[in-house]
Amino acid sequence: MLTQHRSRRSPSGSRYKKARGKRLHETGSEPTFTRVGERFLKAVRLKGGALKAKLLRADTVNLLDPKTKTYKAVKIRTVADNPASKHFIRRNIITKGTVLDTEAGKARVTNRPGQEGAVNAVLIQ
């Protein structure tokens, strides 16, 4: 299990003595890396019994047109640009700030799809 606790080694490389085991509030997780493909969700249990929907693959985007101020579900073609990493572009990974090529035109993602279970974007001219 991944943890957000401090490292077991000091900066010099020596080991710290283990005072206790891992705790639930220290748990971490691998990055989701939402990709372009047929929609696929995974529910993850959180502290307190709540569920988080992790979006692993997405084929549509909730697109806001700033001129008409209306939302529309539009198909995603590919990832055009990703400021998080240049390697995410060829791997078609969607993160916040990603520029998507959709059927309605280019759109910038405004949310975190791996954390929220949906892809929301704004049309850019």
> Quick check: 1 pLDDT over 90?
no
The fraction of the chain above a pLDDT of 90, given in percent, is 82
pLDDT band at 51 (very low <50, low <70, confident <90, very high): very high
Give the global pTM: 0.85
pLDDT band at 103 (very low <50, low <70, confident <90, very high): very high
| Average pLDDT score over residue span 11-18 | 94
Q: Which CATH class is domain 34-123?
A: alpha beta
Q: How many CB atoms lie within 10 A of CB 111?
A: 14
pLDDT in tens, 59-78: 999 999 999 999 999 999 99
pLDDT band at 47 (very low <50, low <70, confident <90, very high): confident
Q: For strand 120-123 and strand 60-65, is the pairing parallel, antiparallel, or unpaired? A: parallel
Q: What is the C-alpha separation between 4 and 91, in angstroms, rounded?
A: 28
